[in-house]
Amino acid sequence: MPNILIIDDQPYLKELFSDDLREEGYRVMSAGDAKSVRGFLEDSKPDLVLLELSLNGFEGWSLLRYIKSKEPDLPVLIVTSYDNYMNDPRLSQADGYLVKDFAHLNKLKERIADVLGRGVVN
């Protein structure tokens, strides 16, 4: 059962994603600040990170760099509300980019399954 770490400062989004992903059989952890992320990386060893770039109190790009410096092989999917980062060169550090689409959470689940090598989610 893969561990997914959701990094988002919006509690309702973390809950929405967490509930849906747990139904798919994933173990889900969530963090809303950089200090929590550091703890999860050290203690929980996630298999995948879902990272919102627009975070209250800290910069998502800096957190992406930090995660990749500590765990270079840990897949990080950028899951953000903004589509204006699509051509940002910093995305080369990430393993994918999705714009949050609450009407179609299956897109997110399919991308997670692809990154984790689990095939297509029903």
pLDDT tens, 10-25? 888 788 888 889 998 9
- For residue 57, what pLDDT is reported? 65
- For residue 102, what pLDDT is reported? 67
Structural domains in the chain (count): 1
Residue numbers of the chain with a pLDDT score lower than 50: 120-122
58-to-9, 44, 61, 122 alpha-carbon distances in Å: 10, 22, 9, 35
Structural domain of residue 85, as residue ranges? 3-116
Query: Does any domain span residue 122?
Result: no
- For residue 105, what pLDDT is reported? 76
CATH number of the domain at 106, please. Answer: 3.40.50.2300
Strand partners, 17: none
Query: Does any domain span residue 121?
Result: no
- For residue 111, what pLDDT is reported? 85
* Cα distance between residue 65 and residue 106, in whole Å: 28
Query: Does any domain span residue 69?
Result: yes
Query: Does any domain span residue 93?
Result: yes
